[in-house]
Structure 1
Amino acid sequence: MRSLILLALVGFAAQLVDGSLGMAYGVTSTTLLLAVGTNAAAASATVHLAEIGTTLASGISHWRFNNVDWKVVAKIGIPGAVGAFAGATFLSSLSTEVAAPIMSLILLALGVYILIRFTVAGLPRGELGKPLRKRFLAPLGLVAGFVDATGGGGWGPVGTPAILASGRIPPRKVIGSIDASEFLVAIAASVGFLVGIGSENIDFAWVGVLLLGGVIAAPIAAWLVRHIPPRILGSAVGGVIIITNVRTLLRSDWIDAPGNIQAIAYIAIAIIWAGAIAYSVREYRRDKEHESVEAVEAELNRRTEEEEPTPAA
């Protein structure tokens, strides 16, 4: 019972993060399932089955807050579903001993990417209004879907930064569109896992509690995406993913590191992680102060223009 409550809380927290950043529900949840010894394919299958419900709830919530560009959803979601099905059948064909370290490597790479992306760059900005072409979104969806299924997560970490970097649609619509299109990816991946490993290898109680936590969090996350600092949240989540998957790799048969080496690695990661969060907080405050100064200057300029007398004709 205690483990089910913990999983429900993880589903809730993971969806809060995912709905706010446009990434990390699958990466966070799969990381935890691997940490407790779940088979790699079963872990990804469990998360993707839960994501059918959470992504539907998240997509509806983002739609109600006008955070979704449906053209983007169609152009990236269908290729993403194809890639996810291929990734699920590929992972299902691997042995447990081979699959777990491979998945941890993928998750670790995604965690490093999330940490660096949000710590160093924050949310990129560019020119808005230009259309996103299918020739860009279709290959992106195909790759992101494959990574998502094989890594137990990756749709958001691959898709969200790529679209954000284009600067062509507002960040909140990038996040909403990625979350909405992930519904198609979750269905395709789930079908692939059911074909590949069968339903007997999946704990549906775990699916249910992950789903419950995620559905409760979805509307809250869709509202929070307008109010919380994504830069700080991204740095925090990236560190969690890194340290958890480093732990899995160091204890795997591939490395089997002694205890003192593991301790040194954890301490080093913790120091870097703390520094990244501190840097993100500082940069976020600096950006807010800069925006406040610009707003005050704009208001003063507006008032000055209003008070200037109109020249006589």
Structure 2
Amino acid sequence: MRSLILLGLVGFAAQLVDGSLGMAYGVTSTTLLLAAGTGAAATSATVHLAEIGTTLASGLSHWRFGNIDWKVVAKIGVPGALGAFAGATFLSSLSTESAAPIMSIILLTLGLYVLIRFTAYGLPRGNLGKPLRKRFLAPLGLVAGFVDATGGGGWGPVGTPAILASGRIPPRKVIGSIDASEFLVAIAASAGFLVGLGSENIDFAWVGVLLLGGVIAAPIAAWLVRHIPPRILGSAVGGVIVLTNVRTLLRGEWVDAPGGVQTVVYVIIAALWVAAVAYSAREYRREKAIEAADAELLGSAPEEETARA
């Protein structure tokens, strides 16, 4: 019972982050399930089955708050589903021993990307209003869907920053559109795992608890996306993913590092993680101060023109 309650809290926290940032439900949940000793393919299958419900709830919540661009959902969702089905069947064919370190490497790469991307660059806002073309979104969806299924997460870490980097639609609509299109990806990945694994390797109690936690968090996250600083959250989540998957690799058969080496690596990563979050918080405050100063200057300009008249 205690493990189920903990899993429900993981689902709640992961969806809270995912719905606010447009990524990290799958990566966070998969990382923690792998750390608990669950097989790679079974872990990804469990997470994707839960995501069918969480992404539906998240998509509806984002739609209610006006956070979705349906043209983007259509152009990226179908290729994403094809990539996810292919990735699920590929992962199902690997042995558990082979798949676990491969998945950790994928997750570590995604975690580093999230950490560096949000810490160093924040959210780009140029090119707003320009259309996102199918020739950009379709290959992006195909790759993101494949990575998502093989890594137990990746739809958001691959898709969200790529669309944000274009600067063509507001960040809240990027996040809402990615979350809504992930519903198709979750269905396709789940179908691939059921074909490749069968249902006997999946713990449906875990699926249900993850789903429940995520569904409760979905409307809260859709509201928070208008208020929470994504730059700080991205740095924080990226650090969790990096630290957890480095731990998995260092303790695995591929590396099997001595305890002293592990401790030194953890301390270094933790220090860099704290520095990254602090830097993101400082840059966020600086950006807000600049925006406030610009708004004040714009507000005072009409008054000066009136005084001259």
Shorter-chain TM band: over 0.9
Q: How many residues align?
A: 309
Q: What is the distance in 2 between the residues matched to 1:301 and 1:4?
A: 59
User: Residue type matched to 1:281 in 2?
Assistant: A
* TM superposition shift of 1:305: 2.9
Asked if 1:40 corresponds to 2:62, the answer is no
Q: What are the equivalent positions in structure 2 for 1:136-175 lying under 5 Å apart?
A: 136-175=136-175
Which residue of the partner structure matches residue 300 of structure 1?
300
* TM superposition shift of 1:114: 0.3
* TM superposition shift of 1:303: 2.3
Which residue of the partner structure matches residue 31 of structure 1?
31
User: Residue type matched to 1:136 in 2?
Assistant: F
Q: What is the distance in 2 between the residues matched to 1:31 and 1:303?
A: 56
CA deviations on 1:68-117 (whole Å, 9 max, x unpaired) are 00010000000000000000000000000000000000000000000001
Q: What is the distance in 2 between the residues matched to 1:286 and 1:211?
A: 38
Q: What are the equivalent positions in structure 2 for 1:238-249 lying under 5 Å apart?
A: 238-249=238-249
Q: What is the distance in 2 between the residues matched to 1:307 and 1:71?
A: 48
Q: What is the distance in 1 between the residues matched to 2:271 and 2:131?
A: 42
SS at match of 1:82: helix
Instruction: List gaps (5 residues or longer) in structure 1.
Output: none
Which residue of the partner structure matches residue 18 of structure 2?
18
Given the two structures, how large is their TM-score scaled by the length of structure 2?
0.99
User: Residue type matched to 2:33 in 1?
Assistant: L
SS at match of 2:130: coil
SS at match of 1:38: coil
Q: What is the distance in 1 between the residues matched to 2:3 and 2:181?
A: 30
Which residue of the partner structure matches residue 184 of structure 1?
184
Q: What are the equivalent positions in structure 2 for 1:199-218 lying under 5 Å apart?
A: 199-218=199-218
Q: What is the distance in 2 between the residues matched to 1:148 and 1:58?
A: 18
Asked if 1:73 corresponds to 2:73, the answer is yes
Q: What is the distance in 2 between the residues matched to 1:291 and 1:181?
A: 32
SS at match of 1:199: coil
* TM superposition shift of 1:304: 2.3
Q: What is the distance in 1 between the residues matched to 2:270 and 2:6?
A: 23
Asked if 1:261 corresponds to 2:280, the answer is no
Which residue of the partner structure matches residue 8 of structure 1?
8
CA deviations on 1:164-193 (whole Å, 9 max, x unpaired) are 111111111000000000000000000000
**Gap change, CA 1:219 and 1:306, over 3 Å in 2:** farther
* TM superposition shift of 1:60: 0.4
Deviating above 4 A after TM superposition, structure 1's stretches of 4 or more consecutive aligned residues are: none
CA deviations on 1:134-166 (whole Å, 9 max, x unpaired) are 111000000000000000000000000111111
Q: What is the distance in 1 between the residues matched to 2:234 and 2:156?
A: 12
Percentage of pairs with the same residue: 82
Q: What is the distance in 2 between the residues matched to 1:150 and 1:305?
A: 61
Q: What is the distance in 1 between the residues matched to 2:164 and 2:174?
A: 7
User: Residue type matched to 1:130 in 2?
Assistant: K
Q: Name the stretch that deviates more: 152-161 or 295-304.
A: 295-304
Which residue of the partner structure matches residue 282 of structure 1?
282
Q: What is the distance in 1 between the residues matched to 2:185 and 2:307?
A: 57
Q: What is the distance in 2 between the residues matched to 1:306 and 1:204?
A: 69
* TM superposition shift of 1:231: 0.6
* TM superposition shift of 1:308: 4.0
Pairwise CA RMSD of aligned residues?
A: 0.7
User: Residue type matched to 1:293 in 2?
Assistant: A
Q: What is the distance in 1 between the residues matched to 2:158 and 2:89?
A: 20
* TM superposition shift of 1:307: 4.1
SS at match of 2:253: coil
Asked if 1:234 corresponds to 2:234, the answer is yes
Q: What is the distance in 2 between the residues matched to 1:69 and 1:174?
A: 8
Given the two structures, how large is their TM-score scaled by the length of structure 1?
0.98
Q: What is the distance in 1 between the residues matched to 2:83 and 2:307?
A: 60
SS at match of 2:200: helix
* TM superposition shift of 1:128: 1.1
